[in-house]
Amino acid sequence: MHRHFAELELSITVTEQNLADRVRYILRSNIFDVAELERLRREAVPSSGENATAEDAAPQLAEQTANVDAAVNTPVVVHSNDDGTIAQELELEQMRSTLEEAIVETRSTPLENRPRLSRIALSKRNLAVVSALNPILVTYMEASRDLCETDSILFGAVLAICRIICAKISTVLSQPGE
């Protein structure tokens, strides 16, 4: 999207984050109705006969959609024995509820009282958990209104991942006068 914007508006300098923020604002504020948004999408994505970049974009979009669908519909292995057998699977709804609980908990906890999170080992199991939570996070991030809320969502997501994979979480006890 950033590349297309830069090609269309050479005189305007905009970062990818700024462009994403503008898109999110437009979607949240309901400036356009559904029919108008669809018309703008069709105009923004050229037909496959126009140029090679459009031909390249269509398979990428289909692949991204397939990856998101696969991540959402695939149960995630959270524990496995040394011999590789699955001991327990955590369904997506359980992950979503764990995420929601962690976000609510994070919002109500002052920064200085948040738990300290340990480093998470890079493993296929942990990557699968993160990959499954990423599509769920999109909804929360799009609804985020300010930096504090975004911080709570991201910290809550990390906290949820630690809980799902049973990583060590140490609580911080604030001392009086600190």
Let me know whether 103 and 162 are in one domain: yes
Structural domain includes residue 7: yes
Let me know whether 38 and 98 are in one domain: no
Claim: this prediction has a pTM higher than 0.75: no
119-138 pLDDT per residue, tens = 888 888 888 888 888 888 88
In this predicted structure, which of 46-50, 89-93, 121-125 has the lowest mean pLDDT?
46-50
Let me know whether 84 and 38 are in one domain: no
Residue 41 has pLDDT above 60, yes or no: yes
pLDDT of residue 44: 66
Let me know whether 18 and 52 are in one domain: yes
Confidence of residue 2 (pLDDT cuts 50, 70, 90): low
Structural domain includes residue 177: no
Its domain, for residue 156, covers 75-170
The H-or-E segment that residue 17 falls in is helix 16-28
Structural domain includes residue 139: yes
Let me know whether 28 and 93 are in one domain: no
Let me know whether 49 and 85 are in one domain: no
Let me know whether 98 and 120 are in one domain: yes
Let me know whether 58 and 93 are in one domain: no
Write out 128-177 in H/E/C secondary structure: HHHHHHHHHHHHHHHHCCCHHHHHHHHHHHHHHHHHHCCCCEECCCCCCC
Structural domain includes residue 176: no
Q: 130: which residues sit within 8 A by CB, 6+ positions away?
A: 161
Structural domain includes residue 178: no
Question: CB-side exposure of 122: number of CA atoms within 13 Å?
Answer: 0
134-160 pLDDT per residue, tens = 888 888 888 888 888 888 899 999 999
Say if CB 163 and CB 98 are below 8 A apart: yes
Structural domain includes residue 69: no
Total domain count, the chain: 2
Mean local confidence (pLDDT), 61-87: 42
